[in-house]
Amino acid sequence: MTVIIAHDVPDAIRGILKRWFIEPRPNVFVGTINRRTREKTLAYIRRNAEGVALLVISSDPNCQGFKIESWGEVRRKDVRKSGLWLLAEEWIEEANIPF
């Protein structure tokens, strides 16, 4: 299973995503595709759509059963802590944390 949340996606890229995914809400794509097809589709989008922001949640053989990846300027940052994937709403760099 793969879920893609896209921001600032041109219509041509939305059309490509609709080949393999359904779009239950605007710019939210859900589908069950194999890893190779997912990686090739995402590589094509990164090459041909400048300024697009993607948050991708896909199946993975780990304890949670999924992994999170992001490209571009997304609002939430994907973080892996102690082997678990988390989404941070607000991110403060460790160097800037007040004591």
So what's the pLDDT on residue 50?
80
- What would the pLDDT profile of 21-76 be if each residue is shown by its tens digit? 999 999 899 999 998 998 998 898 888 888 888 888 998 888 888 888 887 776 66
CATH of the domain at 15: 3.30.70.240
Provide the domain limits for residue 28.
2-96
Please say if the pLDDT value at position 1 is more than 80.
Answer: yes
CA dist list (Å): 4 to 46, 93, 97: 13, 26, 31
Using the structure block, give the residue that is written with the tokens 């490509």. 16
Number of domains in the chain: 1
Q: Within 13 Å, how many C-alpha atoms sit on residue 51's CB side?
A: 3
pTM over 0.75: no
So what's the pLDDT on residue 72?
75
Per-residue DSSP letters for 48-97? H-TT-EEEEEEE-SSSSSEEEEEESS-SSEEEEETTEEEEESS---GGG-
Mean pLDDT score, 6-30: 90
Distance CA 6, CA 27 (A): 5
pLDDT range class, residue 81, cuts 50, 70, 90 = confident
In the three-class reduction of DSSP (H, G, I as helix; E, B as strand; rest coil), residue 42 is classed as helix
